[in-house]
Amino acid sequence: MKTRHDEYSDELPQVLQIPKSVQDDITDKWFHLYKWISPDEVKLSIERDFLRTLKVIWIPLAVISVLAWLISWINIWVFFATIATWVFFVFLYLFFISIKRSALLSKSAFVIMTDSSISLWGKIHKLSDIWGLKKDIDEVSKTFEEDLFWESKLSGAKENLMKEVMDQLFWWYKIIMSWMSRWGSSRDSEKAVLLVIWLYTAYAAIMASVYFVWVLFLWVLGSFITWINTKYLVRKWHTVIKINQLFSSLDISSEDIYNEKQSLELLLEEAYNNNWQDGLLLQINQWIWHINSKTQNAIIQVLDLKNTISQSKYSDMFSFPVYNSWIKKQILTPLEQILALLEKNLSLLIQTSKDIEQQITQTHKIEYKSTLELQLQRIELQKREIQRYIPQLQESIDKLK
């Protein structure tokens, strides 16, 4: 079945590429909730930016620190103070980024998609106006290295930057050693090289310590920001999260009802072939009770989901005919099959009961008659159980129609 997604994907490939799994989900129930950016990705993006900053300032900061040290008449504290000043401003920059990323997260954590509309930043837009969202989508995609509906590249980017920073660290050791071989082996040149190596090692140790201190600081800060963001997102996107949870719950209920139907079918067939033994009757009644319980729970979920969508701002972008078709496929059809199964077995029980009653009137053997009467009692008991549940199941089906 071709949906309008296909048309939009063809027309606007640079703006929005929608995977087939998302299209199929929308085709089924006219709704797809996509969790785009998570609080953990905010923290990961800041770690990546710190490594990116470290890579850029590594050599300039080393050179400036050494120059400041020389200008101050070889005052080692000036060397350390220069590095500390730069690091302080880097921390301020990254702290500012943390706040900015959190604000971006609150707008892009969840994306709601239907066949004709998309909800981004808490606002609903027509897919025909998708070009107007290109700037915002590109900002999130670039910041978190994750295109909408596709996998994140953030972890890979951080790992690559870590490798590049480490390579840069050892590469400059090689440069210093090559300088040493060019300067010769005089005492002054050896002292100069050793001094450069000492300063570079001190610088590298400081920057490594800064990195690990920042990672620890970011872990504490990031954990706090993640906690705040999670609380905020749950509150802001409460309705969306509830809708998605209800859809997921209905998927589970549908699967449970289908599995219960198959088990009941096997039990009824076994009971019919084994003269409705007491142990099987007990299992059958338990299974019917389970099905009825799961059915009542599913009905509550169906009505709750429909009311939640109707009362939300997303009702205008939702198609209830498609939703009803999805409910029919997920819940209504399995229940109708169970109802047909019970009605069929009720007819078999009624016919078997009549056959046994006829056999009882025709037999003259007391022991055989006693066996038939016991079998008849079992069947009458099962008839009453099925007759009790059939109206309940029919009522449930009527509520879903």
| Whole-model pTM over 0.85 | no
Amino acid of residue 34: Y
Measured between alpha carbons, how far is residue 246 from residues 122, 230, 250, 264 in Å? 20, 20, 6, 26
Query: Backbone phi, then psi, for 118, in 5-degree steps?
Result: -140, 140
Sign of CA dihedral 90, 92, 96, 102: positive
- Per-residue DSSP letters for 124-138? EEEGGGGGGGHHHHH
Give the pLDDT confidence score for residue 223 in this predicted structure.
Answer: 66
Mean pLDDT, 10 residues at a time, the chain of 401 residues: 39 63 79 81 84 81 77 77 82 81 77 79 74 80 86 87 78 65 58 69 74 69 66 70 79 81 77 65 75 81 83 77 78 83 82 82 75 78 79 80 71
Q: How far apart are CA 119 and CA 340, in angstroms?
A: 42
Give the pLDDT confidence score for residue 11 in this predicted structure.
Answer: 45
- The C-alpha angle 148, 149, 151, rounded to 5 degrees, equals 95
For the chain, list the domains and their CATH numbers. Answer: 4-236 (no CATH), 239-400 (1.20.58.70)
Query: Backbone phi, then psi, for 110, in 5-degree steps?
Result: -125, 140
Give the pLDDT confidence score for residue 81 in this predicted structure.
Answer: 84
Q: How far apart are CA 319 and CA 315, in angstroms?
A: 8
Q: How far apart are CA 71 and CA 380, in angstroms?
A: 105
Buried b (16+ CB within 10 A) or exposed e, 213-249: ebeeebeebbeebbeebeeebeeebeebbebbebbeb
Give the pLDDT confidence score for residue 2 in this predicted structure.
Answer: 34
Q: How far apart are CA 27 and CA 35, in angstroms?
A: 19
Bridge partners, 113 (sequence order): 32, 118
Give the pLDDT confidence score for residue 8 in this predicted structure.
Answer: 40
Give the pLDDT confidence score for residue 176 in this predicted structure.
Answer: 63
Give residue 366's Cα distance to chain centre: 67
- Sort residue 275 into left (φ over 0), alpha (ψ -120 to 50) or beta: left
Amino acid of residue 248: S
Tens digits of per-residue pLDDT, 187-219? Answer: 555 666 667 677 777 777 777 777 777 667 766
- Of 41, 158, 148, give the one whose Cα is nearest residue 102: 41
